[in-house]
Structures are given as structure tokens and as C-alpha cells.
Structure 1
Amino acid sequence: MPASTLLTRKQLPLLRGVSRSFYLTIRLLPPALQGPIAVGYLLARATDTVADTTAQPAAERLALLSGLAQEIQSPAGSLQALQSLLNQFARHQTDPHERALMQALPDCLPLLHALAPDDQASVRWVLGHITRGQVLDVQRFGQGPAALATEFELDDYTWLVAGCVGEFWTELCERHLPGFATQSADAMRLAGRAYGMGLQRLNILRDAGADLAAGRCYLPAARLTPLGLSPEQLRQATHSCDAAALQLLAPLWGEYLQQTHTQLSEGLHYSQCLNSRRLRLASALPALIGARTVALLRQTGPQALTQRVKMPRHEMRALLWRLLWRLASPHALDREFQRLSQ
């Protein structure tokens, strides 16, 4: 069911408010995909907001996450009983759009029930993994400054909150758009998994400074120790803008950016294999924006932990117009990816 049909005039602004870029992606999708992806995104964004509301004690965040996950997984789920707790969390949101989402969430869950049964099952599957990753986040970081321990924990986290989304996206395409790609569904599922994990790695690198300030270090302690750094030393260096200490991170920073770029290139390949021009454009945009962001982070180096690095909005608009002009052809996508990666 199209998002414009499934979502009401009240809920469409919610979607646009919490993510203008993803709202654009959803509007570009073929109509059959818009509903389940829009509903899944709204619910995932809501549970993410709960996990990130650090003004509330970890125990209360975990309790609300558990309640939301239980109702989402129930075919007859309802959030009316959680309304007062949602309103309590809403009062702690500094972003008015996230506050509005918290308050409107009980009206959003029925959108899940309005989907076809197969799509409901897919949305519940992906949200089950996403909320598990969010619960792990609160458990790890809810008691004060902490860090992921190993590379395995980092990979597991990026799959739980984003890699599974690439698989979910592919499953919906296979169901609603037979013959949607030039590659097999299994090959597309693997590429979608890598794509999602790459986008989450990019988020981690882009937001590393803000996360450190909040007591969250997603750079594994096992990778920092050989560089002569601990998560706490990295947090202090970021806070004091200690260029010498931050420079110790340079080898790992470069390695992670290269790994992220490789996974984003998997996403570009995924997009190039799609037969629908609208789907190809919608799928490619995050990879292209990501390639530009990786380039900016590489130029800035570890000093990026002390500042906000993102692709300017006017560059995004220009990119979209170039892609539309060239009909989002596979060749045009490759050309843009190479250009933006410089």
C-alpha cells in the first residue's frame, strides 16, 4: 500500500520531520514498497528515540523498549496503555519532530496492522532485530561511559540495526516486484546486508565525537589499545581538541573509512542491478551521499571527532537533479559515486 495512502495527513509530516532524506527516498520508491518501508521506518525511529533519551534512567528506557517491542510483535498490539510513559519520554525530546513522534506513536501502530500479512511479518522481523540492537545499546552504555570491546561486537551491532534492513528491503522487492534485479535474490540479499552495515558504520564514524561526549564509544577497545588509546583518553582528547592525541587514531580511522567505502560500493552495485529506475534512484541515494561523506571525513581526519561533518544540502539537491537528468542509469550512478568519492 503506498505511503501516501497508508499514512494520514498527520503522519506524513512526522515521517518528513524525523528524516527529510529518508522521506525523499520513500517517496521515490515504487508504490508497493512505500507502505511497509514507511511504517517500519517510523516505528524503528520511535524505538531509537527511546533508546537515545539519556535524560531517562536506563531501566526506564529498557522497560519502554520491551513494552514497545512486545506490542509491535503482537498481531493485536496496542500502545494505548503506554501512552503516559510515551508522553513522559516526549517531554525530554529537544527535537520537536521526535517529540511529536513519541506523542503520536499509539496512532502509528495500527498502520502496521493495515499492511498485508506477509508485509506485517517482514516488518516485525526487521523491527525485532533493530530493537534487540537498541536494547544492547542501552545495556552497554546506560550505566556511564563505556565502549564496544571487540570487532565482533561492532559487526554484530551494525547488522542488528542496519544490515538486517538491507535484507528486509530485498525481501519486499522480491515479493512485490518479481524480476526486480539482474542478480539473484540471494546475491542481492548479501549485497543489501553489506550496504546496510556500511551505512551504519558511516553513522558511527560521522557521529563518533557526539557519541563520545555522551559516553558511548563504538570504536572497539581492542582496536584502540594497540594505538596507545583507551576510550576514556579518546573522549578527553575529543573534548579538549587535543590534535596530537587524536592523530593517534589516524590508522584506524583510515582503515574504517576504507571498509565503509567498500561496503557502500556494495550498495552502489546493489542499486545498479535494480531494473526499476525509481527503485534504483531511491536505493542509490544513500550510497552516493555516503561516498561524499566518507570523502569529507577522510579529508578532515580524526579531527572530525571535534566537528560536524556532512554533505551540504545544496550539493544533495544538485546531485539529485544530475541523476534525474541522466535517468539514474547504472553508468550515471557509477560516475557519480567515483566523483563523490574523491
Structure 2
Amino acid sequence: MSTAARADLLGPLLKRVSRSFYLTLAVLPAPMRDPVGLAYLLARAADTIADTSLIEPARRLSLLLALRAAVGGDTSGETMLAIRQMAGDVAGRQALPDEKRLLESLGAALSVLDQLATADRAAVRDIVATLTTGMEFDLRTFPAEDSGDIVALPDALALDRYTYLVAGCVGEFWTKMTCAHLPGTFDEPQETVIARGVRFGKALQLTNILRDCSKDLRIGRCYLPASMLEQHGLTPAALRAPGASSCARPVLVELMATALAHYRAAADYTFAIPRWSIRLRLACLWPILIGLETLRLLVGNEAWLDPAKISKVSRNHVYRLVAGSMATVCFDGVLRGWIERTMREIEAKLGPAAASAAVA
């Protein structure tokens, strides 16, 4: 493909579909930008396919598996036909023009994938395969969005596994990309850093699950484990009733404590990056700050299960967090103090039960 077409795919289109994550992508060191940006585009396309409720789940699953096969290098006629169908059938059902264009650009994205260095291509294929496994889990586990039914994950282990499939694996991929393109960044063994990176991703996904819980419940998806709900006399369906927010607060407390423990690992991950690696530090710091601010809003939201009262960080506040971090990115003491103060504020509002609920 032409240089201009590649630049458009990994530039303007990526910016329009990646929303706040583009801040992180834009500040990444140049060697990491293309493989990470392409992995995001392919995963975002897969997510769009999986979430297009106007198409029946079985059809979405078929197309999702075809995309996974194509990313994995399958160029058979059946697979490539499915890719062309995505550009027509699925793209035509998108309300947002950028989502439509993303699906229409899948052929171009696969061409860029073929142009990556061998190691980068393998890494992108691996991360897309894992992420689409998480999406496949959603389609196989939960009912159709308009069925009126609701299904919950069975227990905390299932939730932990799910957060790895849809986000923890990104921390693993990110770390491998850093070690490959910026060798010497970390002093510790790669396995140690990868483990923290996995927890980094899990922290962000748990935050998203808690923030979006009310909306997910309305389409039949309960990521709050049934075993936790049962301990407090709750069922997934009961979470959609008025007043459910206060009844389910102990579950919120337990899962937020787990998220905070993961965020501490994420902070350790970030501070292991040398202070002179400003771009890489900022790329890690921003998701932590935005995620913690989301938890701070959640813990103070007495109606956190009301879909009309989502705990979402405003765009202006995101800009303030970005500005503040850029001014302090090289000062470990200041940054640690900032992160710890935010965590302590959240823990104080969670109450003493949070300490026993946290995981190491």
C-alpha cells in the first residue's frame, strides 16, 4: 500500500476511532507507534463487529473468527470473502461514520500488518488473537442484547481470567514491544515487568467494568461475579432495580479494592521506566491517572448502577490531568505523592472493608 494510505490509516483514522487512547498512542516513542497503533485498530474493528447488535450473535461470532483468522495469516477464499462482507454488511450498519470507515479499511490494515517486521507482526497477531478470544467469550456466554435475559460471570476467578483476555494481555504486549524496541528500559527481569503489565491492564479493565456496569446490565451482561452477589443476597436481575446501588455497594467495595491493588502494580511498572523516557512514562501515567479519577468518581456515586449517572471523567479534567503530569513527569516523589493521595482518598471512602477485600 502507498505511504500516504498507510499514514492516513495510522494517523487521522486512528485518531478518530481511538478517542482518549490516542493521547497515549501519540506520545509513544516512534519505534513502538506503528505496531501498537495497528494492534489497536484491528482490535477496535473486532470489537465493533462483536458489538453490532443489529446483527445476530451467531453471525457476529462467525465474522469475528474470520477476522482473527485473517490477522493470523489465513488468506483462503472463505476468509477473505468474510473480510469483504464486513466492509459491506457490518460497516453499513454503523451509526458512526468513523466506525464504518474502519471496517471498510480492514484490507488496508491487513496490508500494513504484512509490512511490519517479523517479530512485530507476530506480536500483533498474538495480541489480536487473545483479545478476540475475550470477545468470543462475550458472544458465547451472554444472551442477545434484546432478549431480556441476563447472565453473570460465575466467580472472581472467571472475572480475573476475563480481565486478562480483554486488557491484561495488552500490558503483556506493551511490555514486549517496549523491550523489543527500547531495550534496556527496564532493569528488572522481563517476566517481573510483564506480570506488572498484566495487572496494569486488569486495573484499567476492572475500572471500565465498574463504570459501565449499569449499561452492561441493560443488555444482559453482568460482569459482577454471581458468587459475590449471592453473598449479599443479590441476583444479577436485582441489580437493575431501583435502589440496587446501595445494596450492591459491598461488591463495589471489594472489586474497587482489587482494582486499587492492581493500580499499585501499575504505578510500580511506570516508575520502573527511567525518568529520561518521558514519552513512555507519560503513555503509562495517563491511563493510571484517568483510571484512578474514575474510581474516585465511582466511590462517591451513590447511584453507580443508574445508567443515567455514569461516573465518567470529563474531557476538561482529562486535559488537566495531562497538563499536571507533563509538568511533574520527571519528579518521582511528586508523582508518587499524587497517586498515593488519590488512592488513600478512595480507600477512605470505601471504608475498612476495603483493606480485607484487596488482593496482593
1:6–1:121 distance in 2 versus 1, CA, 3 Å: farther
Query: Partner of 1:9: helix, strand, or coil?
Result: helix
8 A contact 1:265–1:287 mirrored in 2? no
Matches within 5 A, 1:9-28: 9-28=8-27
> Are positions 1:324 and 2:323 aligned together?
no
Amino acid at match of 1:285: W
Matches within 5 A, 1:249-268: 249-268=248-267
Distance 2:252 2:24 in 1: 29
8 A contact 1:163–1:192 mirrored in 2? yes
Percentage identity across paired residues of the two chains: 35
Question: What 5-or-longer segments of structure 2 have no aligned partner?
Answer: 346-360
> Are positions 1:135 and 2:136 aligned together?
yes
> Are positions 1:172 and 2:177 aligned together?
yes
8 A contact 2:10–2:38 mirrored in 1? no
User: After superposition, what is the alpha-carbon deviation per residue over 1:90-112, rounded to whole angstroms, capped at 9, x for unaligned?
Assistant: 22222332222122222111111
Query: Partner of 1:246: helix, strand, or coil?
Result: helix
Distance 2:108 2:212 in 1: 31
Amino acid at match of 2:161: D
Deviation at 1:77, TM superposition (A): 7.7
8 A contact 1:16–1:23 mirrored in 2? yes
- 17-26 or 152-161, which moves further after superposition? 17-26
8 A contact 1:297–1:309 mirrored in 2? yes
Amino acid at match of 2:313: M
RMSD: 2.0
Aligned to 2:195: 190
From 225, 229, 236, the equivalent of 2:230 is 225
- 286-295 or 73-82, which moves further after superposition? 73-82
Task: Name the count of aligned residue pairs.
Answer: 333
Question: What 5-or-longer segments of structure 1 have no aligned partner?
Answer: none
1:296–1:258 distance in 2 versus 1, CA, 3 Å: same
8 A contact 1:6–1:35 mirrored in 2? no
Distance 2:188 2:107 in 1: 40
1:68–1:293 distance in 2 versus 1, CA, 3 Å: same
> Are positions 1:210 and 2:212 aligned together?
no
8 A contact 2:28–2:283 mirrored in 1? yes
Aligned to 2:37: 38
Deviation at 1:287, TM superposition (A): 0.7
Give the TM-score taking structure 2 as reference length. Answer: 0.87
Aligned to 2:110: 109
Matches within 5 A, 1:14-163: 14-74=13-73, 80-81=80-81, 82-143=83-144, 144=147, 145-163=150-168
8 A contact 2:86–2:103 mirrored in 1? no
Distance 1:328 1:203 in 2: 28
Give the TM-score taking structure 1 as reference length. Answer: 0.91
Query: Partner of 2:258: helix, strand, or coil?
Result: helix
Amino acid at match of 1:325: A
Distance 1:124 1:10 in 2: 18
Aligned to 1:289: 290
